[in-house]
Structure 1
Amino acid sequence: MNQKLAIPLLSLILSVGFTGYAAAETVLEQIERTGVLRAGVRTDAVPFSYLNDNGEIEGYSVDLIRLIHGRLEEKLNQPIRLEMTTVTLQDRFEQVQKGNLDLVCEATSITAERENGVDFSTPFFVTGIQMLVKTENRDRLDPTQLSETDISTVSLERVTIGFLESTTADSELRPVYPEAQWEAVPSRAEGIRRLQAGELQGIVSDGILLLGQLWKDGSDRQNFQLVPSQPLTFENYGCILPMNSREWSRVVNSTIASPENTTLWNQWFDTNQGRFPYRKFE
């Protein structure tokens, strides 16, 4: 072979080889190489991840990320810097798909459709879709207590129901009141404000998140009710992970299944001593 051609050819082969190696790097290998764990949280998912009165991020899933971080350092036997980034309902999946984040833990329901683009951890919480109404309207708007005639009458009264876009709640409960007026709201906080003002007759979301927002706002729980009393759906929350990240998934899943996480879960949700007492759905 001509020596002048051999050197460029060798360089090309090495270049392609290193490119293929870099492309094959797993999430865990990248974390080990960079020494950084990139995690996403939301600021409006009380009690999972939210801003407290001091403007600091806190919540159960924030603590869960820190627990995952600690176990990751033990596994890799090296210090890892934890970088937490704010995500939104609209970009949380995209940030993981594009490789900008290694995981997102907040209040994301696991669905078959979503699993086409990302992987999920094992579930760490179970809740369900409900509608928050004023206590005075509980019987009038509880879908499990209404006949078809009642629902028709309610619809004629132009009930307006708030919902958050990019969530499963809208599509699941909308068919129950097909003739009601449905309005997108930017946040649960804004939806509850409009409910208190009489601009909405209900706001639809996962029950735990509606109660969480009331708790954070300091609202009188007696003035509101969740209907129906048992959720219409069961929503499993999981952390969002990059697809085909098996080793990384095992680290996250083993943390969720660990005794340390059971202790953490009880610190937040135990019905007697938790910061946010909540009855588990069985």
Structure 2
Amino acid sequence: MFNRQISAIKIVSLLALTASGMLPLVSAKAEDTTLERIERTNTFVIGFRSDKHPFSAITPTGDVEGYSIDLCHGIYESLKKDLDKPDLELKMIEVTADNRFDYIKDGTVDIVCSATSWTLEHQKKVSYSLLTYVTGAEMLVKDDSRIRSLKNLTGKKAGLIYGTLTADIMTKRIKRDNLDIELITYKYPQQGIQALENREIDAYIADRIILIGLLDEANAPNDLKLVNRFYSYDPYALMFARQSLDFKVHVDRYLANLYRSDKSLKLFNKWFSHMGIRSNENILRAMFKLQSIPE
């Protein structure tokens, strides 16, 4: 219990630093072209990942939906109002782990709305909004498994999701601790869950919230279980061009207003309440509160 309290305190402290502006800011020297491009083209372009339920995913009917998608739809509506463009067009473009930074840099998309990790290394290339979710790496195993820690994976196989912060952190940690674990990387999250169900791997390591989302879609979710142990801290945010300070103000204003209202809890209930205690509701409530930046 004490360790959990310490972890929560660390997360809340980081959120406080974010909300107070004490984390490194992007440079104001480069030209901000995002808002200018949106006005000139009369189009707002959202980049999304198709396999990041419940943040962004394609439904069987071909629609794009998710928690992050709802956030960006809200930003789109606020842009229509603030730019006085009621006919502003909304365009959706699928991005991948490999091309998302290039698409932001060259202006193919204005914003990426998915389960995007905010890291200081990535901040050298792009900028981020206020935090949208807080999670961390966990393990999913078969229900009859006795695996409870990384050490229990010695001589076994573990799956990771390609191009994620969790994959990078866990690969370095396993190498640092000299653990004999065979790591198998999957390009698409669903491939890993299938491999675990088929016992091709012994554990699947990814962000807790992504694993829970995959459980929603698993063939036999009751045959799988989380080990209930975090191995990292992973903050999510919306991503856009590094120099887009004016656009960042617009995005952050929308999020701060949302976090000050009951709409944030309604959005939480829509996408996460069915997860029960696994949803980290208390941490999310703290995140909403700490980032309710006043006008």
TM-score by length of 2: 0.77
How much does 1:82 deviate?
0.7
Deviation at 1:120, TM superposition (A): 0.6
Matched, 1:90 2:98: yes
Query: Could you list the runs of 5+ residues in structure 1 that have no partner in the other structure?
Result: 1-22
Q: Cα gap change, 1:71/1:263 in structure 2, threshold over 3 Å: closer, same or farther? A: farther
User: Which residue of structure 2 aligns with residue 190 of structure 1?
Assistant: 191
Kept in 2, the 8 Å contact 1:269–1:276? The answer is no
- Is the 2:66–2:271 contact (alpha carbons within 8 Å) kept by the matching residues of 1? no
Q: Residues 22-171 of structure 1: matches in 2 within 5 Å? A: 24=31, 26-79=33-86, 80-137=88-145, 140-143=146-149, 151=151, 154-155=153-154, 158-171=155-168
Q: Deviations over 1:137-175 (max 9, x none)?
A: 1xx3222xx7xxxx3x742xx311111221111232232
Give the drift of 1:270. Answer: 5.3
Q: What residue in structure 2 maps to residue 4 of structure 1?
A: none
CA gap of 1:186–1:160, structure 2 versus 1, over 3 A, is: same
The residue aligned with 1:12 is: none
Q: Give the 3-state SS of the residue equivalent to 1:184 in structure 2.
A: strand
Residues 1:226 and 2:226 aligned together? yes
Please give the alpha-carbon distance, in whole angstroms, between the structure 2 residues aligned to 1:260 and 1:100: 34
Letter in 1 for 2:158: I
Runs of 4+ in 1 over 4 A off after TM superposition: 274-277
By how many angstroms is 1:207 displaced?
Answer: 0.9
Q: Deviations over 1:91-115 (max 9, x none)?
A: 1111101221110010011001000
**In structure 2, do the counterparts of structure 1 residues 24 and 124 end up closer, same or farther at CA, with 3 Å as the change threshold?**
closer
- The residue number in structure 1 matching 2:273 is 271
Q: Secondary structure at the match of 1:73?
A: helix
Is the contact between residue 125 and residue 236 of structure 1 (CA under 8 Å) also seen in structure 2?
yes
- One-letter amino acid of the counterpart of residue 262, structure 1: S
The amino acid that maps onto 1:108 is T
Tell me: CA distance 1:67–1:264, structure 2 relative to 1, closer, same or farther (3 Å).
farther
Residues matched between the structures, number: 246
TM-aligned CA deviation for residue 261 of structure 1: 5.0
Offset, 1:121: 0.6
Q: Map Cα deviations across residues 215-271 of structure 1 (whole Å, 9 max, x no partner).
A: 134x443321222x1322121100111012111001111122223751452242453
CA distance in 2, matches of 1:240, 1:278: 23
Residue 51 of structure 1 aligns to which amino acid in structure 2? I
Rg larger for: 1
Partner-residue secondary structure (3-state), 1:108:
coil
Task: Give deviations 1:159-204, integer Å, cap 9, x for gaps.
Answer: 1111122111123223247211111112121111111111110111
Q: 1:77 to 1:207 in 2, by over 3 A?
A: same
Percent identity over paired residues: 28
